[in-house]
Structure 1
Amino acid sequence: MTVGNRLKMLRLEKRLTLQEVAFKIGLAKSSYASYEGGHRNPPIDKLVALAQIYHVSTDYILRLTDIPDSVESLQKQHLQWDGISLSEKELEIVHQVVELMTDKHQENSKIKLGQMDIG
């Protein structure tokens, strides 16, 4: 599945037209259609707007995860630790820690690939 396929799937799930989504993010219909068609990738500001419209994470749109949940949806789930519900601030901290861990993992993977090219 490509980014374009994922965008199209999300749009159809929300029962929105190309024109409606394009209008919501401030684009011409043809420009948004080029995202779904895989001819262009959305810039960061449009990616964030699309994630907000579809109530998913940008990572989900970019296919970095198959879990569509955004931080807001995690907050709605009333996550708990040892039977105690986490506050919004605590959920944000958990989110930041996970992002740091995945960033570090990606950084280590790039270093390993770079070392393989040298040898």
Structure 2
Amino acid sequence: MLSTRLKMLRTQHRKTQQDMADVLGISRQGYAKYENNLGEPDNSTLSKLADYFNVSTDYLLGRSDIPTLTQEEKEEAEFQAFANNPKLNVFYKELPESQEEAVERLREIWEIIKHDYKK
């Protein structure tokens, strides 16, 4: 599915394989392997491709037929990545409130952190 979607998106954007290779900082042959299903991009490259085409990684991988996420879905995905960080789970699990209250507190902390990084 990844190879099909990459080729479709590339042609829709009127880009060559060399254009895409340049975006990713790899050789044209390296990019061609993705489209010919002879290799798979690492997570970082997959994220770059999703960002470049403004689609979700789930769409690229065939886990969703909806190309883009809503802003709410993007924010939820960011929060889930934050909340599921193994280095942070110890703090989350030690919160004395019920799990629902702990999640809400963690979400508030996440919003503060995001706001600080945007400055």
Normalised-by-shorter TM-score class: 0.5 to 0.7
Structure with the higher helix share, 1 or 2: 2
Residues 52 and 3 (structure 1 numbering): CA distance in 2 closer, same or farther, change over 3 Å?
A: same
Question: Which structure 2 residue ranges, 5 or more long, are not aligned?
Answer: 84-119
2:91 is equivalent to residue 92 of structure 1: no
Cα deviation for residue 96 of structure 1 reads: 4.8
Query: Measured at CA, do residues 96 and 18 of structure 1 come closer, stay the same or move farther in structure 2, by a change above 3 Å?
Result: same
Gaps of 5+ in 1: 76-87, 101-119
Code of the residue aligned with 1:25 in structure 2: it is: L
Alignment of 1:12-91 (within 5 A): 12-70=11-69, 74-75=70-71
Offset of residue 93 of structure 1? 3.5
- How many aligned positions are there? 81
Aligned twin of 1:7? 6
**Runs of 4 or more consecutive aligned structure 1 residues displaced over 2 Å after TM superposition:** 93-97
- Secondary structure at the counterpart of residue 51 of structure 1: helix
Supply the RMSD in Å over aligned alpha carbons. Answer: 2.3
